A = this chain, B = another copy of it.
Amino acid sequence: MVHEPNNWGRFGPDDQRGTLNLLTPAVVLDALRAATTGEVLSLAMPIRGATSSPAPTTVPHLRGRPLPQHFMSVDGGDYAAGARPIGEGLCVADDALVVTPHGTTTHMDALCHMWSGDQVYNGHPAARVRSYGATRCGIEQVGGVVARGVLFDVPRRLGLDHLPAGHRISADELAEIATPRPGDVAVIRTGWPLVWERSKEEYWSGQPGLSAHAGRWLAERDVSVVACDNAAIGGLNARGLADETLADDLHLVLLHRHGIHLIEMLWLEELGAAGRTEFVFVAAPLRIEGGTGSPVTPLAIL
CB of A72 within 8 A of CB of B133, answer yes
Q: Shortest CB–CB separation between residue A22 and chain B, in angstroms?
A: 12
Chain A: residues with Cβ within 8 Å of the partner, total of: 133
- A282 located at the interface, meaning its Cβ lies under 8 Å from any Cβ of chain B in the complex: yes
Contacts of A40 in B (CB 8 A): 20, 23, 25, 28, 143-144, 146
CB of B27 within 8 A of CB of A287, answer no
- A284 located at the interface, meaning its Cβ lies under 8 Å from any Cβ of chain B in the complex: yes
Binary CB contact string for chain A from 97 to 114 against chain B (1 if under 8 A, 0 otherwise): 111111001100000111
Q: Shortest CB–CB separation between residue A112 and chain B, in angstroms?
A: 6
CB of A50 within 8 A of CB of B290, answer yes
Q: Give the copy number.
A: 4
Q: Tell me, in angstroms, the Cα distance from A45 to B81 when the chains sit together.
A: 28
Q: Tell me, in angstroms, the Cα distance from A298 to B299 when the chains sit together.
A: 12
Q: Tell me, in angstroms, the Cα distance from A293 to B94 when the chains sit together.
A: 8
Contacts of A35 in B (CB 8 A): 28-29, 32
Contacts of A96 in B (CB 8 A): 51, 66, 69, 71, 98-100
Q: Out of B38, B115, B283, B292, which one reaches A29, CB within 8 Å?
A: B38
- A127 located at the interface, meaning its Cβ lies under 8 Å from any Cβ of chain B in the complex: yes
CB of B73 within 8 A of CB of A81, answer no
- Stretch from A82-90, A152-160, A167-175, A216-224 that touches the partner: A82-90
Nearest-CB residue, chain B, relative to A57: B64
Binary CB contact string for chain A from 128 to 141 against chain B (1 if under 8 A, 0 otherwise): 11111110000010
CB of A287 within 8 A of CB of B45, answer yes
- A206 located at the interface, meaning its Cβ lies under 8 Å from any Cβ of chain B in the complex: no
Q: Out of B89, B284, B289, which one reaches A297, CB within 8 Å?
A: B284
- A52 located at the interface, meaning its Cβ lies under 8 Å from any Cβ of chain B in the complex: yes
- A178 located at the interface, meaning its Cβ lies under 8 Å from any Cβ of chain B in the complex: no
- A208 located at the interface, meaning its Cβ lies under 8 Å from any Cβ of chain B in the complex: no
Nearest-CB residue, chain B, relative to A9: B267
Q: Tell me, in angstroms, the Cα distance from A297 to B50 when the chains sit together.
A: 24
Extra pairs beyond A25-B302, A42-B284 (19, CB < 8 Å): A8-B59, A9-B270, A29-B38, A32-B301, A42-B143, A46-B287, A53-B132, A55-B289, A73-B132, A75-B78, A76-B134, A80-B80, A83-B130, A91-B126, A93-B134, A94-B292, A97-B100, A144-B282, A286-B297
Q: Which 8 pairs between the two chains have the least Cβ-Cβ distance?
A: A77-B77, A25-B38, A76-B129, A71-B71, A50-B132, A1-B53, A29-B38, A28-B38
